[in-house]
């Protein structure tokens, strides 16, 4: 951290909190920035921290790297001394957020959802400060709402506002069903903001309607100041294109073992690395620019940059030592994998000149060709290039793999 968050001026705090946010349009960003500044000034004056929240729906048992993007934002508010709530969407989960989906989602029971949520807070505390985090479950205020209260909430919105949403509009034009209960998702989330009397809500860009249209509107209609929306970009999943999502299965769960997590990060397509550095790591903007530069000018091999990314991500969740062990494991498996499945073998009974071996294996038609191959650096023993034409293989060196050119292998064993 360049500056201690506690020492930041209001302007610096605004820059810190708005950094990396994505509203889709410049005007919304300006408005949110203005409102955030006003709230921060007020909080500094009154000494009353802001109420900030992030909601996550436990439709499965795992939080993933995508969730850590808004969680990291929430953490920044914690660093500045604000009151942060990690809201478990125990009631909203039963319906499922239709925001980024173009099909109706299966409904779950409260029991199923609560079972999924068992380790949610433990997982969240990998990023959030447990001492400074309040945990709430939204069934505590959503389940007791009466029908009359629900009708009142619904009366603040038009059907057109909902039909204008991208994914509903698509379904409507295709003639696919849009069930009435799906409309209530945004209302429920909006009511969360009312129940928490929240100043700020953090979420991904898929939450713009829920946070801006539903949440702010409901708060205003019910006499509260509308919350400031802090909107973060969406992290793509392991396919590199689609939003990382627990219901699609392209996610990297934060509960994965160090080795599994390292391997998953290494399987990411190269082009998403800059986004992962920006959204998932603890890197400062200057460090991120360095990595981007190295990727753009080719001064570092993309695989090495990806290993740095994998090390950093594993270290966030498992610590430095585990990250190093995971890397050593990956290298071992990766290098083994690069060897062909079945390598022919030759048994040695005496120390043997390398040149002789290459000819005997049929990798060169004459000793002079074998010498030329060695001099050119096309021959290696146990992964180490040797340019010594006098080289002999000693018995103590075996077993060892001889490699000539790109794909000729021979495993040498002691007879």
Q: Which residues bind ligand ATP (CB under 6 A)?
A: 56-57, 59, 66-67, 69-70, 97, 203-204, 206-207, 232, 234-235, 243-247
- The bridge status of strand 133-137 relative to strand 384-385 is unpaired
Q: What CA–CA distances, in Å, run from 116 to 99, 143, 243?
A: 21, 18, 21
In the complex with ligand ATP, the residue whose CB is nearer, 56 or 196, is: 56
Least distance in Å: CB of 18 to Mg ion? 23
> Of Mg ion, ligand ATP, none, which one sits near residue 56, judging by CB under 5 to 8 A according to partner kind?
ligand ATP
In the complex with ligand ATP, the residue whose CB is nearer, 11 or 22, is: 22
In the complex with Mg ion, the residue whose CB is nearer, 97 or 199, is: 97
For 143-255, strand residue ranges (E) read 200-204, 228-232
Least distance in Å: CB of 63 to Mg ion? 12
In the complex with Mg ion, the residue whose CB is nearer, 85 or 92, is: 92
CB burial class (10 A; 0-12, 13-18, 19+) of residue 398?
A: middle
Round to whole Å and give the CA distance between 402 and 357. 9
Residues that bind Mg ion (CB under 5 A): 97
> Of ligand ATP, Mg ion, none, which one sits near residue 117, judging by CB under 5 to 8 A according to partner kind?
none
In the complex with ligand ATP, the residue whose CB is nearer, 59 or 165, is: 59
In the complex with ligand ATP, the residue whose CB is nearer, 13 or 99, is: 99
Assign residue 261 a region: left if phi > 0, alpha if psi is -120 to 50, beta otherwise? alpha
Least distance in Å: CB of 262 to ligand ATP? 20
Q: Please give the residue whose beta carbon sits closest to Mg ion in the complex.
A: 97
> Of Mg ion, ligand ATP, none, which one sits near residue 253, judging by CB under 5 to 8 A according to partner kind?
none
Least distance in Å: CB of 151 to Mg ion? 27
> Of Mg ion, ligand ATP, none, which one sits near residue 204, judging by CB under 5 to 8 A according to partner kind?
ligand ATP
Least distance in Å: CB of 43 to ligand ATP? 23
CA 187 to chain CA centroid, Å, is: 28
In the complex with ligand ATP, the residue whose CB is nearer, 232 or 313, is: 232
Q: What angle do CA 76, 80, 85 make, to 5 degrees?
A: 65
Helix H segments across 203-301? Answer: 208, 217-221, 258-266, 273-279, 285-297
Least distance in Å: CB of 94 to ligand ATP? 12
In the complex with ligand ATP, the residue whose CB is nearer, 244 or 273, is: 244
Spatial CA neighbour of 35 closest among 56, 50, 57 = 50
Round to whole Å and give the CA distance between 31 and 229. 10
Q: Report the helix count and the strand count for the chain, using DSSP H and E.
A: 20, 12
Tokens at residue 375, please? Answer: 């001099």
> Of ligand ATP, Mg ion, none, which one sits near residue 378, judging by CB under 5 to 8 A according to partner kind?
none
Q: What angle do CA 210, 122, 100 make, to 5 degrees?
A: 25
> Of Mg ion, ligand ATP, none, which one sits near residue 259, judging by CB under 5 to 8 A according to partner kind?
none
Least distance in Å: CB of 114 to ligand ATP? 15
> Of Mg ion, ligand ATP, none, which one sits near residue 66, judging by CB under 5 to 8 A according to partner kind?
ligand ATP
CB burial class (10 A; 0-12, 13-18, 19+) of residue 336?
A: exposed
Least distance in Å: CB of 108 to ligand ATP? 10
CB burial class (10 A; 0-12, 13-18, 19+) of residue 300?
A: middle
> Of Mg ion, ligand ATP, none, which one sits near residue 263, judging by CB under 5 to 8 A according to partner kind?
none
In the complex with ligand ATP, the residue whose CB is nearer, 201 or 412, is: 201
**Edge-to-edge strand list for the sheet holding 83-88:** 133-137, 83-88, 51-56, 200-204, 228-232
Least distance in Å: CB of 357 to ligand ATP? 53
> Of ligand ATP, Mg ion, none, which one sits near residue 234, judging by CB under 5 to 8 A according to partner kind?
ligand ATP
């Amino acid at each position: 951290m360049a500056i201690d968050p506690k020492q930041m001026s209001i302007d610096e705090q605004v820059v810190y909190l708005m950094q990396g946010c994505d509203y889709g349009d410049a005007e919304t960003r300006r408005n949110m920035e203005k409102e955030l500044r006003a709230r921060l000034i007020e909080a500094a004056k009154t000494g009353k921290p802001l109420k900030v929240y992030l909601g996550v729906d436990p439709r499965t048992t795992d939080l993933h790297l995508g969730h850590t993007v808004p969680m990291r934002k929430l953490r920044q508010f914690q660093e500045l001394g604000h009151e942060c709530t990690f809201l478990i969407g125990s009631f909203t989960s039963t319906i499922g957020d239709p925001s980024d989906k173009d099909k109706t989602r299966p409904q779950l029971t409260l029991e199923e959802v609560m079972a999924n949520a068992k380790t949610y807070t433990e997982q969240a505390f990998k990023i959030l400060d447990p001492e400074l985090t309040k945990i709430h479950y939204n069934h505590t205020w959503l389940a007791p709402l009466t029908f009359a209260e629900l009708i009142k909430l619904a009366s603040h919105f038009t059907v057109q506002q909902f039909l204008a949403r991208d994914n509903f509009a698509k379904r409507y034009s295709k003639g696919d069903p849009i069930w009435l209960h799906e409309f209530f998702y945004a209302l429920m989330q909006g009511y969360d903001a009312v129940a928490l009397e929240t100043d700020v809500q953090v979420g991904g860009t898929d939450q713009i309607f829920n946070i801006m249209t539903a949440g702010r509107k409901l708060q205003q209609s019910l006499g509260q100041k509308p919350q400031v929306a802090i909107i973060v970009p969406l992290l793509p999943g392991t396919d590199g294109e689609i939003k990382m999502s627990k219901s699609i299965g392209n996610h990297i769960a934060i509960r994965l073992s160090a080795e599994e997590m390292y391997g998953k990060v290494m399987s990411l397509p190269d082009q998403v690395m800059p986004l992962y550095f920006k959204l998932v790591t603890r890197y400062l903007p200057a460090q991120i620019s360095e990595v981007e530069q190295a990727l753009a000018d080719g001064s570092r091999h993309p695989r090495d940059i990806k290993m740095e990314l994998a090390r950093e991500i594993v270290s966030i969740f498992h610590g430095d030592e585990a990250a190093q062990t995971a890397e050593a494991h990956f290298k071992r498996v990766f290098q083994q994998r690069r060897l062909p499945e079945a390598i022919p073998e030759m048994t040695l009974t005496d120390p043997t000149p390398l040149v002789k071996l290459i000819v005997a294996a049929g990798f060169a038609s004459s000793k002079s060709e074998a010498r030329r191959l060695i001099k050119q650096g096309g021959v290696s023993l146990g992964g180490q290039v040797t340019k010594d034409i006098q080289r002999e293989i000693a018995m103590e060196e075996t077993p060892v793999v001889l490699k000539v050119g790109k794909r000729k292998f021979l495993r040498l064993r002691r007879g």
